[in-house]
Amino acid sequence: MSYNILSQDLLEDNSHLYRHCQRPVLHWSFRFPNILKEIKHFDADVLCLQEVQEDHYGAEIRPSLESLGYHCEYKMRTGRKPDGCAICFKHSKFSLLSVNPVEFFRPDISLLDRDNVGLVLLLQPKIACAASPAICVANTHLLYNPRRGDIKLTQLAMLLAEISSVAHQKDGSFCPIVMCGDFNSVPGSPLYSFIKEGKLNYEGLPIGKVIIT
């Protein structure tokens, strides 16, 4: 299950985007119980959450999910951003082999001057009497700006490089990979095709067209 749960601080900083919503439903005290209700309903073995606000994560989100049998790992965005990405998994179903946070920010590189992050876990399924391979689970939230598809592609390439490193096995093969996140893109877009097909003809492509069809 992948879910952007909308950081409350970001909601309030961009309140103009939610003028169509009734104010009471925007309060965290209303939203979180309903988010938790959704999570309980779907009962996923693995949750990938985006826009997880740090103070809410520590005080409410992680304790609530731990009470449901999840183990949680979290990577906060760099800079002074209030949120990050979390991967939570049922500890009855998986053992944690490794945690690999990914920071996209690089000083003095214009394509990497944003504070988005990713998180890559290597999990071992707990399956009795079966030699099951490990599973690589990745989660990210790429840059929102619809005019900067070039930055999104660069961030995605960095995430894929980390996934490749984590999922690579001793025999040269790759373990199964599950990649989730908010990619701020749409199906059929060049960025989507890049993920699906593993290639992209970038020559002559306007940077604003990377995320739309």
Please report, for the domain that includes residue 6, its CATH number.
3.60.10.10
Nearest to 145 by CA among 188, 114, 190: 114
Answer whether residue 203 is part of any domain. Answer: no
Question: What is the DSSP track for 111-162?
Answer: GG-S--EEEEEEEEE--TT--PPPEEEEEEE----TT-HHHHHHHHHHHHHH
Answer whether residue 43 is part of any domain. Answer: yes
In tens, the pLDDT along 94-142 reads: 999 999 999 999 999 988 999 999 999 999 999 866 678 899 999 999 9
Answer whether residue 213 is part of any domain. Answer: no
Answer whether residue 205 is part of any domain. Answer: no
Residue 122 has which token pair?
Answer: 């290597």
Residue 48 has which token pair?
Answer: 């990938």
Residue 45 has which token pair?
Answer: 């073995």
Answer whether residue 204 is part of any domain. Answer: no
Answer whether residue 211 is part of any domain. Answer: no
Answer whether residue 183 is part of any domain. Answer: yes
In tens, the pLDDT along 173-182 reads: 999 999 999 9
**pTM of this structure:** 0.94
Number of domains in the chain: 1
Domain enclosing residue 140, as ranges: 2-197
